[in-house]
């Protein structure tokens, strides 16, 4: 077996909510992601799936636990070493309206990670990325408000890909989109995986989307992974009682 | 739901008169048409789905029935909304108030913003009972507790004294449903009632709405973007696209033999109906804005199988009831 791209060991995170209550968002979460693999994380609101993504990105600091990225201790890094390691892991958020700066042109938004990391040839790279995500070449000179929700999510994906990361953490990337647009973005994600060999941590509450994109699936409940395994196995023969009841509540569609 | 063909009300010699008949309804803002020529009926005890993507006009259609649209700028340009003997489209707004909450109940997507945060749940359920049915304070509270029990809220008596923020999302939506059915309305309008809820809670709330409909003989218009929800609890559904009804059919037929090319594409693109990981048959482009819907079929620019008359000529909703579609080149 190849060495894991990401290895998370016993990750815990608690915080105090606005009402002063202690919330244990993660209670000892461990898993691995292989290079090029998509791990789907599914669970209901409050299960800790968003905290998991943010903690791995180190947008939040974990209380305990280790995060190994490409064999190095990502959780222990700081300063220049953290900045360098961050090139390998990028994030796509749910809200394509809130995650793009409305005052920056699309070209500037996509170029920002390149400039922050001192890469040369940002202009050419932006043109390449626009093409990669299926946006017209003139999109770079326009502003986010000129684009629809689906196109904005393409912009957010182009920005995440700018530094050629090995891992993308996508938190509900298609949940705000209409069905017809959602499938366009799911196809784009599949294309990018194939062309770039990307690994993903794909977080969603939507069971059918998770089933569609994932190689393996982790079911979260109350800050714990209650079940993890190959996607088909978890879907067809869930073992944990919660995983079973979650899957049973999925709306059933009539056969074709 | 495999029992989708079964009628909720036992077959009668003559079908019951519709609770609501919307006839050729058009809504507009200035010169822009938002909704055009929408017609449908709902019969007693029927659960009718109204499905479509954002901007298709499904929510404004629902709000127009309640006359809750901001008028102006939005106006009812033409058509009738027949509720019993009355044409709601022509009713002065002050005559609507006695109907809303009394004869027509409503549930909205976000129970946190639809409930008043400064009043207890008990007071909010008691309000329509006192206002519309003239119940006294204590009688209204007794009835409110019964209603909370009916919608499955645990410890209904204690729940009367709680404030909305003290309930979970699913409990708030149950409380909203209790308010909506308090006066035993003839018609319930539910606009994305489960969209903000987790999937396990969604299943429970859909089951509750289904049960109430059966037990109370309630006619229900369920507005949703989610075909899965429609499949779960509706018998019949309308598909809207760009301000028009493009297909009307019993739900099983809608999934098995959709006629309109848009419905076909929508059903085919659902991940759950494709092999995991396979390329999804995506619908290219995006929904046109009001004012950019063209002369002919508004779906023509995105359609997989357009014919020459689709661009210039608008297709009418055609075919024998109950399955009708507005398509020049139907998929089935």
pLDDT in tens, A166-178: 999 999 999 888 8
How far apart, in Å, are the Cα atoms of B269 and each of A116, B158, B238?
Answer: 39, 46, 18
How many angstroms separate the CA of residue A133 from the nearest CA in chain B?
A: 14
Q: State the number of CA atoms in the 13 A half-sphere of B145 facing the CB.
A: 11
The per-residue pLDDT of chain A, averaged, comes to 92
Between A and B, how many residue pairs show a Cβ–Cβ distance under 8 A?
103
pLDDT at B1: 39
Ordered alpha helix ranges (H), B73-163: 111-114, 121-133, 137-150, 156-159
Q: What is the pLDDT of residues B30-60, one digit of tens each?
A: 889 999 999 999 999 999 999 998 889 999 9
Q: What is the pLDDT of residues A4-53, one digit of tens each?
A: 999 999 999 998 887 788 889 999 999 999 999 999 999 988 899 999 99
Instruction: List the helix and strand counts (H, then E) for chain B.
Output: 10, 11
Could you say which DSSP state residue B318 is in? B
Q: Does residue A124 have a pLDDT over 60?
A: yes
Q: Give the residue extent of every domain in chain B.
A: 261-332
The ipTM estimated for the assembled molecules is 0.83
Residues of B in contact with A184 (CB under 8 A): 282-284
Answer yes or no: do B271 and A251 touch at CB < 8 A.
no
Residues of A in contact with B202 (CB under 8 A): 249, 251
**Is A2 touching B (CB cutoff 8 A)?**
no
Answer yes or no: do A212 and B276 touch at CB < 8 A.
yes
Peptide bond connecting A174 to the previous residue in cis, omega within 30 degrees of 0: no
- Confidence grade of residue B4 (pLDDT, cut at 50, 70, 90): very low
Q: Does residue B12 have a pLDDT over 60?
A: no
Cα–Cα distance between A140 and A142 in angstroms, integer? Answer: 6
Cα–Cα distance between B104 and B205 in angstroms, integer? Answer: 19
Q: What sign does the CA torsion over A235, A236, A239, A242 have?
A: positive
Cα–Cα distance between A115 and A113 in angstroms, integer? Answer: 5
How far apart, in Å, are the Cα atoms of B18 and each of A3, B22, B250?
Answer: 66, 10, 17
pLDDT at A33: 97
Q: Does residue B205 have a pLDDT over 90?
A: no
Q: What is the pLDDT of residues B130-158, one digit of tens each?
A: 999 999 999 999 999 999 998 888 889 99
Answer yes or no: do A178 and B225 touch at CB < 8 A.
yes
Q: What is the pLDDT of residues B303-316, one digit of tens each?
A: 999 999 999 999 99
Q: Please state the separation of Cα A153 from the chain's center in Å.
A: 12
Q: Does residue B202 have a pLDDT over 90?
A: no
Answer yes or no: do B279 and A190 touch at CB < 8 A.
yes
- Confidence grade of residue B169 (pLDDT, cut at 50, 70, 90): confident
**Is A234 touching B (CB cutoff 8 A)?**
no
Residues of B in contact with A179 (CB under 8 A): 53, 225, 227, 266, 269-270
Q: Contact B28/B197 with Cβ under 8 angstroms?
A: no
Residues of A in contact with B251 (CB under 8 A): 254
Answer yes or no: do A253 and B265 touch at CB < 8 A.
no
Answer yes or no: do A212 and B200 touch at CB < 8 A.
no
């Amino acid at each position: 077996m190849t060495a894991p791209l990401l290895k998370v060991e016993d990750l815990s995170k608690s915080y105090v909510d606005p009402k002063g209550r202690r919330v244990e968002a993660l209670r000892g979460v461990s898993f691995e992601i292989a290079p090029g693999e998509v791990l789907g994380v599914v669970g209901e609101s409050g299960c800790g799936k968003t905290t998991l993504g943010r903690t791995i990105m180190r947008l939040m600091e974990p209380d305990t636990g280790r995060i190994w990225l490409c064999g190095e201790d990502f959780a222990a890094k700081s300063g220049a070493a953290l900045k360098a390691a961050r090139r390998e892991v990028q994030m796509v958020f749910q809200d394509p309206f809130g995650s793009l700066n409305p005052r920056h042109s699309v070209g500037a938004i996509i170029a920002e990670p390149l400039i922050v990391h001192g890469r040369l040839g940002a202009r050419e790279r932006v043109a390449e990325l626009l093409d990669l995500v299926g946006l017209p070449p003139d999109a770079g000179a326009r502003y986010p408000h000129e684009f629809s929700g689906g196109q904005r999510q393409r912009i957010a994906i182009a920005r995440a890909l700018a530094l050629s990361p090995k891992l993308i953490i996508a938190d509900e990337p298609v949940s705000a989109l209409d069905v017809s647009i959602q499938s366009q973005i799911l196809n784009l994600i599949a294309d990018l995986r194939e062309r770039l060999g990307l690994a993903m941590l794909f977080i969603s509450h939507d069971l059918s989307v998770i089933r569609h994109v994932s190689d393996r699936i982790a079911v979260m409940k109350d800050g714990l992974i209650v079940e993890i395994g190959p996607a088909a196995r978890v879907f067809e023969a869930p073992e944990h009682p919660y995983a079973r009841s979650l899957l049973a509540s999925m709306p059933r569609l009539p056969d074709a | 739901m495999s029992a989708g063909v079964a009628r909720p009300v036992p077959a009668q010699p003559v079908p019951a008169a519709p609770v609501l008949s919307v006839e050729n309804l058009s809504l507009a803002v200035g010169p822009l048409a938002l909704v055009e020529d929408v017609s449908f009926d709902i019969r007693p005890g029927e659960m009718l789905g109204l499905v479509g993507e954002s901007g298709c006009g499904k929510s404004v259609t629902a709000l127009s029935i309640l006359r809750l649209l901001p008028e102006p700028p939005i106006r009812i340009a033409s058509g009738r909304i027949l509720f019993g003997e009355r044409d709601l489209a022509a009713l002065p707004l002050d005559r609507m108030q006695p109907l809303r909450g009394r004869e027509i109940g409503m549930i909205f997507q976000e129970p946190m913003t639809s409930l008043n945060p400064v009043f207890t749940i008990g007071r909010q359920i008691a309000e329509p009972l006192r206002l519309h049915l003239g119940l006294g304070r204590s009688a209204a509270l007794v009835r409110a507790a019964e209603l909370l029990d009916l919608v499955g809220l645990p410890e209904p008596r204690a729940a009367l004294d709680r404030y909305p923020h003290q309930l979970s999302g699913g409990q708030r939506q149950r409380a909203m449903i209790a308010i909506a059915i308090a006066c035993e309305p003839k018609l319930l309008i539910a606009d994305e009632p489960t969209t903000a809820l987790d999937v396990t809670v969604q299943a429970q709330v859909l089951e509750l709405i289904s049960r109430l409909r059966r037990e109370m003989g309630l006619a229900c218009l369920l507005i949703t973007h989610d075909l899965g929800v429609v499949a779960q609890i509706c018998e019949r559904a309308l598909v809207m696209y760009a301000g028009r009804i493009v297909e009307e059919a019993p739900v099983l037929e809608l999934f098995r033999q959709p006629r309109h090319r848009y419905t076909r594409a929508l059903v085919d693109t659902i991940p759950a109906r494709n092999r995991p990981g396979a390329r999804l048959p995506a619908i290219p482009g995006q929904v046109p804005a009001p004012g950019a819907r063209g002369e002919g079929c508004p779906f023509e620019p995105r359609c997989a199988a357009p014919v020459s008359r689709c661009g210039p000529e608008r297709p009418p909703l055609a075919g024998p009831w109950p399955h009708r579609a507005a398509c020049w080149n139907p998929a089935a």
